[in-house]
Amino acid sequence: MVHWNGATVKNLFKKSGNQGRSDSAFLKKIYRKLLGRDTDPEGKKYYLRFLEQGRSRIDVVLDIIESEEFKNKTARENLHHLYLPSIRNEKPDQYKQGQDFLENSPIWVFQVRDDSDFDWLEEKIIQNGYYEKPGVWNFEINEDTKILSDLTSQFDPECVLDLGCANGTVMKCLHDAGIQSDGIEISRLYSSKAFPEIKENIIIADILDVDLEKKYDFILGLDIFEHLNPNKLSLYIQKIFKLLTKSGHLFCNIPAFGKDEVFGEIFPIYIKEWKKDLKKNNLFHTIHTDDYGYPKNGHLINAGSGWWVNQFQAQGFRREKDTEKNLHSKYDKAMEKISTARKSYYLFSKNPKKASTLK
C-alpha cells in the first residue's frame, strides 16, 4: 500500500515528467496516474483556475489525493486484495508483463488460449469471493445514480429490472420518483447494504438461476455485461430478452473499445494485441489483469463496440440509435461532469416494427 507523504508526491511528480508540460497536459497525465481516467470538463476547468491563482502543480496533486474519488480508488486497489489469493502462479505460462502503450507503463496481461480459460477465470473469481470483498462498489446515492434514474424515467416504465443492482442506489432513486423496480445481485455483502425501501425487491442470485414470473418494460444493465463469462453471454442475453415486454427497452452501459457510430470513442485501445481483434471484430483474447492475476476490475469481456452490438442483435434485439442520440444530447454534459465512461451505452428494443420514443 502506498503511503502518501510529501516525499511520495514529489517522487511521483518527478517521474511523471511534468516540468515541461502545459497545464492541460499536466492535468491529463496526473488524472491518469492518480484516478485512472481522463480529465472531466469541470475538473479541468477547476484545476486550471486553481493554477492561475498561483497554486503549484504539487498543490494540485495533494488536492486530488485528498479527494473522495482517490480515496475510494485506493481502497479498491489495496484493501480488496488483502483478502484475495494470487492466481498468477496457477497458469504462469499465460501471464506476462505487457505494456499500456498510451501510458507507457507496464501491466500484467493474461493470454486466453481457448474458451476454457474464460471458465477458469470465472471459477477463480467466484471461488475466491472476488465480489464479496471490500472496495468493489459505491454504496452512496450520487449524481451518477440520479442521472441514470432520470434517464430511465424518460421511458415512463411501470416496472424496472436492475441487473447487478449492488445495494440498490438506482432502485432507491426510482422508488423516490414513484417507479417500481426489482433488482438482481450476486453479492450477498453488497445486497445486505440495500436501502430499506427496496431491500425486499432484491433477489440474491445469478440471473440464469432465477425464474421470474413477471416481465419488465425497462431493464438496466449498468457495468454488468463486461463481468460475464463470454461463453455464457448468449444465454444471459436470451434470458433478458424473455424478461422484456414486447414494447420494452434494455439499457446497457458497457466499456466498449474503439469507435462507435453513435457515441464515438470513449475507451481507446491501449494494448497492442487488441488491435488485431478489434480489426476483425473479435472478442479480445488478451486480458488486462491486476497484480494478483484477476481480470482488471473483474472484466472478463473486453471487445470493440461492433462486437458488443452483434451479440445483442444475434439474440433478436434491435439497437435504437436515434433514441440513443436523443439521450446523448440530453445527458452527455451531465455525464461528462462525473465520468465520460458513462457515455458508452446502448439502447435496445425487441420490437422491430416500433421505434422507441421518449416521453
**CATH number of the domain to which 222 belongs:** 3.40.50.150
Same domain, 74 and 147: no
- Whether 114 is in a domain gets the answer no
- Whether 128 is in a domain gets the answer no
Same domain, 39 and 150: no
- Please give the grid coordinates belonging to residue 266: 470513449
The pLDDT of residue 136 is above 50: no
Q: How many domains does the chain have?
A: 2
Full domain range(s) for residue 218 = 143-349
Same domain, 249 and 163: yes
- Whether 96 is in a domain gets the answer no
> Which among 51, 78, 105 is the end of a domain?
78
Percentages of the chain per state (helix, strand, coil), in multiples of 5? 45, 20, 35
**Rounded to two decimals, what is the model's pTM?**
0.79
- Whether 109 is in a domain gets the answer no
- Whether 97 is in a domain gets the answer no
- The tens digit of pLDDT for each residue in 67-90 reads 767 766 666 555 555 668 999 999
Same domain, 204 and 299: yes
Same domain, 73 and 154: no
Same domain, 71 and 149: no
- Whether 355 is in a domain gets the answer no
Cα angle 261, 262, 263; round to 5: 110
Q: How far apart are the first and last CA of the chain?
A: 49
Same domain, 174 and 318: yes
- The tens digit of pLDDT for each residue in 209-268 reads 998 889 999 999 999 999 999 999 999 999 999 999 999 999 999 999 999 999 999 999
- Whether 40 is in a domain gets the answer yes
- Whether 123 is in a domain gets the answer no
The pLDDT of residue 315 is above 90: yes
Same domain, 149 and 287: yes
> Which among 25, 57, 78 is the end of a domain?
78
Cα angle 79, 81, 83; round to 5: 90
Same domain, 161 and 246: yes
- Please give the grid coordinates belonging to residue 1: 500500500
Cα angle 106, 112, 114; round to 5: 170
Q: Are 251 and 322 in contact (CB under 8 A)?
A: no
- Per the prediction, the chain carries an average pLDDT of 87
Q: What is the pLDDT of residue 1?
A: 42
The pLDDT of residue 137 is above 70: no
Same domain, 182 and 41: no
- The tens digit of pLDDT for each residue in 36-62 reads 777 877 788 888 988 899 888 888 888
Same domain, 231 and 339: yes
DSSP letter assigned to residue 140: S
User: For 188, how many CA atoms within 13 A lie in the half-sphere containing its CB?
Assistant: 2
